[in-house]
Chains A and B, each alone.
Chain A
Amino acid sequence: MRPVVLNAVLCLLMLALFLASLAVGPAELGISESVRGLLAGGGEAAAIIMREIRLPRALLGLGIGFTLGISGAVLQGFLRNPLAEPGIVGVSAMAAFGAVLVFYSGLAGSTLYALPAGALIGALIAVLLLLALTARSGSTLTLILAGVALSSLSAALTSLVLNLSPNPFASYEIIFWLLGSLKDRSIEHVWLALPLTLAGWLLIALSARAIDALSLGEETAASLGIDMRRARLFIVLGTALGVGAATAVAGTIGFVGLVVPHLVRPLTNRLPSRLLLPAGFAGAALLLAADVAVRLILPAGELNVGVLTALIGAPFFLWLVIRSRREVF
């Protein structure tokens, strides 16, 4: 498929699901009522619901999905490994732990800014650890095992911190941090995540040539004039910024970054840089769709969106492992 056509199709799909996300919610609003509420504003219930509840939620779904998709694509390109993904390699889990540690300890008062700050530090440590671990042997096995260790450790530490919190209700929030949700987010969360996410996208976009060159190995990439230290810095920071910000406001949402590049790659010429934009669009579309689905499946209790992405993603991951078993083991 030609890149322009592919990007246009995926972008339209994303926008359609964005609108669907705006249309779904427990308050039954008609289409004209929703549109009027969204555009006109004011103190009417419809306007508040559209602008303060559904718009932030849809924006976060779009931005976080895009981030997860593009982060998965850039990590796979960078590590030349089709199983790399912020969730699987433990970056999301570490980001969640960082956010939980800084926020619930009350170190920064109860300000929401503690969340992205902590998540960013956690994500950064995770990416640096992974790079250090895979520098010696870049094998899939090392990467996945390191990811498993990092994920379980940070999930355990997240639970520990929440259980030790002086707030008796904090332990109920373990499920949010481990399985992610876009429920009850507000425009504050959008402002919290957006600048960091945009900076992450920019850094990842600037690494486009580097990941292309890296498909021929580090030596060739360096001989093509790629500054490897700069490229590594950009990708580490870009992923940490994006995934950190996403996790800070929505918890750990796994597998989007894994599934999406694989679905989209066959439709591209397979150059890692050409995958970035479509993977972003498709990631946004997937997360928006999952978030619409959780609201339709269980309207009252509302499933965590990470449950749904794991239900789709984990079997897919297993299939990938089986397919590449010879390489993995």
Chain B
Amino acid sequence: MTAGRTSAIRRSLIAFSAVAFSCVQAIAEAPTRVMSLNLCTDQLAMELAAPGQLVSISFLSRDPSLSPMSGQAETYPVNHGRAEEVFLEKPDLVVTGTYSLQNTTGLLKRLGFRVEEFSFVQTIETIPGDIRRMGALLGRKPEAEALASSFEKELAGIEARQCGQRPTAIAFEQGGVAAGSGTLADSVLAAAGFRNLAAESGIVGMAPMSIELIVSQKPDVIITRAGEEDTPSLGAKVPYHPALRALQDTRIGPFVPRGTWSCGGPFVLDAVKALARLREEIAPCGALQ
């Protein structure tokens, strides 16, 4: 590209962003045109936004294997997280994840868009905070407060039903990657009353765990990712390796509903509930007394 063309483009971008920026200034408190560029912020935004407030969400939200809200996502226009799409849409607020589109985010900020980032290194404890933050950003504080507190209450209820029976589990993802300590899955397992063997074996974050180690530790449950039946991959077959299936007392399966624990949002409760039911089935608390 020639220098002349580059600078011409830059000039028009600056002119464009000036328009966009002045829009943001004009609208003060509650934004009217919100764009979400990340699967996880999509969920929070769809839950909390007022009708018409959310103008576009990421395309991933329509993928039923990733998103528990894929049905609802069909009613929104989608974006692919590209800066150009944001310019065309002229939103007064962009919400996205910290690690997802760093280049885009940086560019948008330089050009004067209001960008709010959500960290998704999170655990179940950070979720109510994220709900409240999204509510504040969207000018929907009461709705967010209601959602967050019901989340906290339900979670507390489930945790209260825990007992000394703590079966062991491993959340085993595509390609032999296990959820170790510090992950959302780790905190979900704890909330549902499971011991996470991956974390206990010293795995931090999402990291490979060898099948041999899993076999020698004989977990009660191996939780695989749901919704992979229709799109083949080799990695999806790893959690169903014959060595793991040979463990007679180990249950293997997608015990967590699709997409419910890939993002820290209200849906995580569905994952906790499903796992708590499973825990109750494997190791009923009544048996202890």
Contact = CB atoms under 8 A, between A and B. Distances in A.
Nearest to B203: A300
B4 interface: no
B235 interface: yes
A45 B244 CA distance: 10
A186 B234 contact: no
A186 B176 CA distance: 14
A143 B236 CA distance: 38
Interface string B225-236: 000111111111
Given A48-B243, A106-B230, A300-B208, A169 B174 contact: yes
Contacts, number: 94
B234 A176 contact: yes
A184 interface: yes
A184 B232 contact: no
A103 interface: yes
A106 to B, nearest CB: 5
A227 interface: no
B213 A302 contact: no
Interface stretch (A78-86, A133-141, A160-168, A283-291): A160-168
Nearest to B63: A168
Nearest to B246: A48
Contacts of A184: 176, 211, 238, 241
A219 interface: no
B208 A302 contact: yes
Mostly helix, strand, loop or mixed at chain A's interface?
Answer: loop
B89 to A, nearest CB: 24
B228 A49 contact: no
B248 interface: yes
B129 interface: no
A192 to B, nearest CB: 12
A110 B229 contact: yes
B218 interface: yes
Nearest to A109: B232
Contacts of B215: 27, 45, 48-49, 52-53
A6 B212 CA distance: 36
B2 interface: no
A296 to B, nearest CB: 14
B210 A104 contact: no
B272 interface: no
A300 B204 CA distance: 12
A234 B228 CA distance: 40
A266 interface: no
B132 to A, nearest CB: 30
Contacts of B63: 168
A168 B66 contact: yes
Interface string A29-59: 0000000000000010110110011100000
A52 B241 CA distance: 9
Which of B176, B208, B236, B243 counts the most chain A CB atoms within 10 A? B243
A49 B243 contact: yes
Contact of A167 (B233, B246, B247, B248): B233
A46 B211 CA distance: 12
B216 interface: yes
A172 B175 contact: yes
Given A48-B215, A52-B241, A165 B231 contact: yes
A315 interface: no
A301 interface: yes
Contacts of B247: 43, 48
A187 interface: yes
B242 interface: yes
Which of A48, A168, A186 counts the most chain B CB atoms within 10 A? A48
Interface in B221-261: 228-238, 241-243, 246-248
Given A26-B213, A27-B212, A167-B233, A45 B218 contact: yes
Interface of A: 25-27, 43, 45-46, 48-49, 52-54, 103-104, 106, 109-110, 112, 114, 165-170, 172-173, 176, 183-184, 186-188, 300-302
Given A104-B232, A109-B232, 10 more contacts: A25-B210, A27-B216, A48-B247, A53-B241, A104-B231, A106-B230, A168-B60, A168-B65, A173-B235, A188-B242
Interface of B: 60, 63, 65-66, 174-176, 207-208, 210-213, 215-216, 218, 228-238, 241-243, 246-248
13 contacts: A27-B216, A48-B246, A49-B215, A52-B243, A104-B231, A104-B232, A110-B232, A114-B232, A170-B231, A170-B233, A173-B175, A184-B176, A188-B242
